[in-house]
Amino acid sequence: MKALFVSAAAIATLAVGPALAQAGADGAKAMHKAPMTRAAVVARVQEHFAKLDADKDGFVTKAEAEAMKAEKRKMKMGGHDKMFDRMDADKDGSISRAEFDAAHKAMAEKMAKHRQMRMGHGPLGPRMFEIADTDNDGRVSLEEATNAALARFDKADTDRDGILTAEEMRAAHEAMRAKMHEKMLDKPAG
């Protein structure tokens, strides 16, 4: 299955994904504890939708999502020289401990945000795009993306208070992992 890194379905999972354990600057595992509100879900969907909608026609197509994935992959392939340049904040040709720690912290924060967007699972495939595309026209509108995100939020918000706590996010993540594991076990080998 061809994976889409950031599809319209990724938009739908932006705000309800758990902030998985992330390595802090000291290497200790820490959980994101800030609660997530429905308003934050909508704001994140709007922000990411705007990034994905390359032609600004109000819809995200699979092609736009695939183009974003390809661009992100290309940016990652920058190699060690680019990584060194990013870490060498004062551009003196060496990386101090402070620069290393700052780069590590920035990377951990970026990874945590990325994990939240993905709700803790790998690249999202065409099936997730199709779930968000409720009118089956091959593209996802902002309304479809928002509705999908809020439906996922509501499913995870077990106490129905409009706020996802770290515990609710963790429980939703674990339920999703169990479901994915079950599906993997049911697939025939081949």
153, 14 contact by CB (below 8 A):
no
Structure tokens at 173: 């993540």
How far is residue 37 from each of residues 59, 73, 165, 186, measured CA to CA in Å?
25, 31, 9, 35
pLDDT of 30 higher than 50: no
**Distance (Å, whole) CA 163 – CA 60:** 28
pLDDT of 25 higher than 70: no
Q: Mean pLDDT check: name the lowest of 68-77, 110-119, 148-157.
A: 110-119
* Strand-pair partners of 140: 60
Structure tokens at 69: 């994935």
Question: In terms of pTM, does the model score above 0.85?
Answer: no
pLDDT of 69 higher than 80: no
Amino acid at position 160, single letter: R
| Percentage with pLDDT > 90 across the chain | 24
Overall average pLDDT of the 163-189 stretch: 86
* Strand-pair partners of 36: 164
CA dihedral sign of residues 148, 167, 117, 40? positive
Overall average pLDDT of the 97-105 stretch: 91
Closest CA to 142 of 60, 65, 68: 60
pLDDT of 121 higher than 50: no
User: Any alpha helices (H) in the chain, and if so which ranges?
Assistant: 8-13, 38-52, 62-76, 79-87, 97-118, 126-132, 142-156, 166-186
pLDDT of 10 higher than 90: no
First to last CA, the chain: 14
Overall average pLDDT of the 112-118 stretch: 57
Mean pLDDT value across the chain: 74
pLDDT of residue 77: 58
